């Protein structure tokens, strides 16, 4: 009987730490995310400082400020970049998987918290100052020293933040 009690308690403890479904705020629609955007930048990761307990402070050089106060650098707290991280651009954000509900490269952990991982030297479109979503930290390729002008997510975000309409994938 005592063994059964320990097994039940262990299962309950494990279940209480698990994230059974991502919080709805992490899966909001693209237009809702852009409507809430207050601080958005394209930045290049220039440093990663491990802080222990699987936390990393990433330092970014701002390449282009799309919304929010002008800044030269910013930091994002995240987790260590691992091989399992999706550090892709979803074919320059043309892939339908990115645009579908739950698309994006950064998912929450088993505790429902998003801890993005980044590669030093790579560039990302980063949404700061609001609840992170799976699309808040998207990799953007650099071409001849500028953010990829053919990246569909970057083009869509720029157009929406500038107040002009634009189509999504394939439009």
- Considering the domain boundaries, does residue 5 fall inside one? no
**Among residues 94, 61, 96, 65, which one has the least CA distance to residue 76?**
61
Instruction: Establish if 88 belongs to a structural domain.
Output: yes
What distance in Å separates the CA atoms of residue 96 and residue 168, rounded to the nearest whole number? 10
Residue 27 lies in a domain: yes
pTM of the model: 0.83
Number of domains in the chain: 1
pLDDT of residue 83: 61
> Tell me, what's the pLDDT at 100?
87
- Residue 53 located in a structural domain: yes
Burial of 142 (0-12, 13-18, 19+ CB in 10 A): middle
Domain for residue 13, yes or no?
Answer: no
Give the contacts of 55 (CB within 8 A, at least 6 positions apart).
77, 78, 79, 115
| Nearest partner of 30 among 136, 114, 150, judged by Cα | 136
Residue 158 and residue 156: Cα distance in Å, rounded? 6
| Residues spanned by the domain of 83 | 21-161
Q: Tens digit of pLDDT for each residue in 115-127?
A: 999 999 999 999 9
Nearest to 35 by CA among 131, 116, 102, 140: 131
Question: Which CATH number characterizes residue 58's domain?
Answer: 2.40.50
In a domain, 50, yes or no: yes
Instruction: Name the average pLDDT for the chain.
Output: 84
Let me know: does 59 contact 142? Beta carbons within 8 Å: no
Which ranges of the chain have pLDDT less than 70?
A: 1-17, 83-86, 164-171
What integer pLDDT is reported at residue 130 of this predicted model? 86
Would 155 be classed as within a structural domain? yes
The per-residue pLDDT for 11 is 44
Whether 14 maps to a domain, the answer reads no
pLDDT in tens, 1-33: 555 444 444 444 444 467 888 888 888 889 999
């Amino acid at each position: 009987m005592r063994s059964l009690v320990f097994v039940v308690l262990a299962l309950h403890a494990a279940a209480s730490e698990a994230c059974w479904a991502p919080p709805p705020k992490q899966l909001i629609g693209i237009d809702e995310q852009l409507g809430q955007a207050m601080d958005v930048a394209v930045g290049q990761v220039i440093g990663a400082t491990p802080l222990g307990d699987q936390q990393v402070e990433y330092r970014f050089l701002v390449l282009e400020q799309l919304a929010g106060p002008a800044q030269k650098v910013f930091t994002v707290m995240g987790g260590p970049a691992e091989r399992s991280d999706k550090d892709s651009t979803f074919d320059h954000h043309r892939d339908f998987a990115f645009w579908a509900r739950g698309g994006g490269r950064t998912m929450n952990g088993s505790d429902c918290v998003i801890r993005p991982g980044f590669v030093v030297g790579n560039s990302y479109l980063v949404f700061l100052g609001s609840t992170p979503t799976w699309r808040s930290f998207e990799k953007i390729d650099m071409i001849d020293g500028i953010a990829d002008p053919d990246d569909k997510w970057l083009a869509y975000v720029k157009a929406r933040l500038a107040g002009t309409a634009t189509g999504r994938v394939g439009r």
